[in-house]
Amino acid sequence: MGIEKFVFYFFALVMVASATMVITVRNPVQAALFLVLTFFSSAIIWMILEAEFLAIALVLVYVGAVMVLFLFVVMMLDINIARLREGFIRYLPFGAVIAVVMAGMLISMVGSKNFGLAKFAEPVRHVANYNNTRELGLVLYTKYVYPFEIAAVILLVAIVAAIALTLRRRPTTKYQKPEEQIAVKRDDRVRLVSMNAEQKK
């Protein structure tokens, strides 16, 4: 039990600290990297909850793909930090009120009053060869098959829409067509001309 608690508190601390750094650090690239660290520590906390499929999917999708593209964009931008910082003091009272209200609501909702052991029984430990991925798949394709398929269709529509919105063909732009380049024959490029040799007089 000891090592589990240690792992939990260590990564919970790392997560909170790096989440704080995401919003306080000055450099946008560093902020994105701290966000990666936050995702990573939350994945490990999920792993302690025996949700290994979700934990690995979080690393795979968010750390491995989404944040890479995010970093890609952030590195290309030349963000003027001084301008972003303008008006920080002016908006501070308003922001502070919202932060306090949000924190108060969260604490009142997610406290032990609503989610304590009195409301929910302590989850049972599963045996060592418990297969989280298989269980998830069984539930997802039987009990929740319609919500799951609807979510999949919505995602598909979103992908098609994103491509349709960004795809624009300009008739003036010249594209290379590799299949035509590969299929090219000698006769398309070179013309052998037979002509008489020049006569010296």
Binding site for another protein (CB under 8 A): 2-3, 29-30, 33, 36, 52-53, 56-57, 59-60, 63-65, 68-69, 71-72, 75-76, 129, 131-134, 176, 178
Closer residue to another protein in complex, CB, 68/160: 68
Closest separation in Å from C-beta 71 to another protein: 6
User: Could you count the other beta carbons within 10 Å of the beta carbon of residue 18?
Assistant: 21
Closest separation in Å from C-beta 146 to another protein: 21
Query: What's the DSSP call for residue 13?
Result: H
Closer residue to another protein in complex, CB, 1/121: 1
Closer residue to another protein in complex, CB, 163/190: 163
Read out DSSP for 175-189? ---HHHHHT--HHHH
Closest separation in Å from C-beta 37 to another protein: 11
- Summary count for the chain: helices (H), strands (E): 11, 0
Closest separation in Å from C-beta 163 to another protein: 11
Q: Which of 9, 2, 1 is nearest to 44 (CA)?
A: 9
Spatial contact of 50 and 133, defined as CB atoms under 8 Å apart: no
